[in-house]
Amino acid sequence: MNTDPAFPSLSILDHPLIQHKLTLMRLRETSTRTFRDLLREIALLMGYEITRDLPLDHIAVETPVTTMPAAPVIAGKKVAVVPILRAGTGMADGLLDLMPSARIGHIGLYRDPETHRPVEYLVKLPPVDGRLFLVTDPMLATGYSTAHALDVLNAHGVPDSRIRVMVLVAAPEGVRVVQESHPTVPIYTAALDDGLNDHAYIVPGLGDAGDRLFGTK
């Protein structure tokens, strides 16, 4: 895990497997199918890291051999996974491989092509009930969509202390925007890239994550 002093809420997950798979995703010629598989695999690996501190309870269990008085299990109401539509679903799949009983919320936003600001078209969220909400979106570009999604969760009753953001590639501009509006929400990324181009695409980035994930144009 790597941190950048300019971005105190950002953690860069620099595990070699994550970095290798991300490089394959960046390649222009990587197919839709491979891109989708890699995103899911990376999300699973990142999910393993970002759930390291989930609290444990201890329960008594009968094994075939004996009674175990204090076997560890995840405590409480566990986790909700909230992809930002549509590309966030590709990362949510990897988290759900890891935590199949997690609740799933959806926040549908599209980017206004002129202003690059998010326009909301769908919000469906599970009950808060003390859950940890993991927000997924592969590309943290301008940061407006992520900041908007965090505002939506706050309005739904989820405090920042129960939210984590998981992205694949982040731009410094986007990290700054999220950090300014939600300074205590941890952001996890596989890479911090150079910045945004005139079309608000991340450079070097990997192109349009939604189009590459779904094979659209």
The window from 9-17, 46-54, 63-71, 206-214 that contacts ligand URA (CB under 6 A) reads: 206-214
The DSSP secondary-structure symbol of 131 reads: P
All residues at 6 or more sequence positions from 42 whose CB lies less than 8 Å from its CB, including other chains: 18, 21, 22, 25, 91, 94, 168, 190
139 binds ligand URA (CB under 6 A): yes
Complex with ligand URA: residue 7 or 35, whichever CB lies closer: 35
Complex with ligand URA: residue 151 or 208, whichever CB lies closer: 208
Q: Is 190 annotated as a binding residue?
A: no
115 is catalytic: yes
Name residue, tokens 């008594």: 60
Kindly state the smallest distance separating residue 30's Cβ from ligand URA, in Å.
14
214 binds ligand URA (CB under 6 A): no
**Number of residues counted as binding ligand URA (CB under 6 A):** 8
d(CA 89, CA 109): 13
Secondary structure of residue 60 in the 3-state scheme: strand
d(CA 173, CA 148): 15
Amino acid at 163: I
Rounded to 5°, angle at Cα 191 from 200 and 174: 35
Options 141, 167, 178, 190; binder of ligand URA; rule CB under 6 A:
141
Contacts for 50-57 with beta carbons within 8 Å, 24 or more apart? 50/13, 50/134, 50/164, 50/166, 50/186, 50/188, 51/79, 51/98, 51/99, 54/78, 54/79, 54/132
Among residues 3, 23, 32, 115, which one is catalytic? 115
Complex with ligand URA: residue 177 or 209, whichever CB lies closer: 209
Complex with ligand URA: residue 172 or 205, whichever CB lies closer: 205
Kindly state the smallest distance separating residue 170's Cβ from ligand URA, in Å.
10
103 is catalytic: no
Q: Which residues here bind ligand URA, judged by CB under 6 A?
A: 139, 141, 201-202, 205, 208-210
Annotated binding residues for 5-phospho-alpha-D-ribose 1-diphosphate: 86, 111, 137-145, 208
